[in-house]
Structure 1
């Protein structure tokens, strides 16, 4: 009798689980793949990284106690900065703001100034308002021209990949403020 009750209970549980799975809220449908047409967009803007003054756009958030280079550089080895930098049409901070760059950069070069950057470039004006591209790459800032990898995006830049070519427009050697020209090629759908 006990074996029959156990068997009945097991069957009841199996039927209940099967019924719940068949009548649950989860729904999935497989559709044939239809490739989208890839687009190429070229962007040009200026990035303003402001470390000094009353309203900096890049702020030191972490720093190791033992540094090999010392504190003479605005970004000595092992420092991490959080950024919310304006993006403008021209090199002047007073030119039209088209978005902002939010993210982090860490000073990772012991012998030279090199940063590892994670940036999200969010656009707030024009055709790409509400869209963004993500960059994650090494940035050897002392090189006049350099390249960063575009690794993703959202909005009109969904599934983005590409590269950003950077050229330093100006640097304040005292406080580290910098203006960087960006020419970005984005492949997206």
Structure 2
């Protein structure tokens, strides 16, 4: 699925909520300071076009967590809309290093159909412009379930979260 990160009008979905009090980060354009924190409420779609079918929302925060590198601490809830997963969430946290081609974030839980989810999300930049970025998010996670083989190391039964 794809997340549409819009920084400015029209359709702004990312807002600076805390101006960083720390030093300016030399790896980012001027006026980005250690500790700055953003809130976001972004579209999740089936493909990279903003006009493609919306499958949910990504709601959360991102804080500039490094004094020297473009690294953000991300806390995000992926709220799925429509179909059998309507209202279910996947909770994601982790270190988002904007200088890397691929970032990996942890799936730390969920609700509804994704209760007790665990795994990871691979995040790559699909498109980047001055006022928006489109991220491709590949969710690789499992949830407790009885319809799978027991895991060899723990004996627990888990089922994979389907692709969106």
Corresponding residue of 1:28: none
Q: 1:115 aligns with which of 72, 76, 91?
A: 72
Deviation of 1:72 (Å): 2.6
Q: Does 1:89 align with 2:39?
A: no
Query: Could you say which residue in structure 1 is the equivalent of 2:148?
Result: none
Of Structure 1 and Structure 2, which has the larger fraction of its residues in helix? 1
Shift in Å, 1:143 = 0.5
Could you tell me which of 95, 105, 108 is aligned with 1:151? 108
Aligned to 1:13: none
- The aligned residue for residue 130 of structure 1 is 87
Q: TM-score, normalised by structure 1?
A: 0.70
Can you list the C-alpha shifts for 1:18-62, whole angstroms capped at 9, x where unaligned?
A: xxxxxxxxxxxxxxxxxxxxxxxxxxx000111111331110000
Deviations 1:63-121 (A, max 9, x none): 12453237835854321011100000010101011100111110112211011000000
**SS of the residue 1:102 aligns to:** strand
Say yes or no: does 1:185 pair with 2:127: no
Segments of 5+ residues of structure 2 without an aligned counterpart are: 145-164
Q: Per the alignment, do residues 131 and 108 of structure 1 end up closer, same or farther by CA in structure 2, a change over 3 Å counting?
A: same
Asked if 1 retains the 8 angstrom alpha-carbon contact of 2:21 and 2:36, the reply is: no
Q: Return the index of the structure with the highest Cα Rg.
A: 1
Paired residue total: 143
What is the alpha-carbon distance in structure 2 between the residues aligned to residue 97 and residue 74 of structure 1?
A: 33
Between structures 1 and 2, the one with greater strand share: 2
- Are 1:49 and 2:5 an aligned pair? yes
Matched, 1:141 2:105: no
With CA pairs under 8 Å and 6+ residues apart, which has the higher RCO, 1 or 2? 1
> Normalized against structure 2, the TM-score is what?
0.81
Partner SS state of residue 120, structure 2? strand
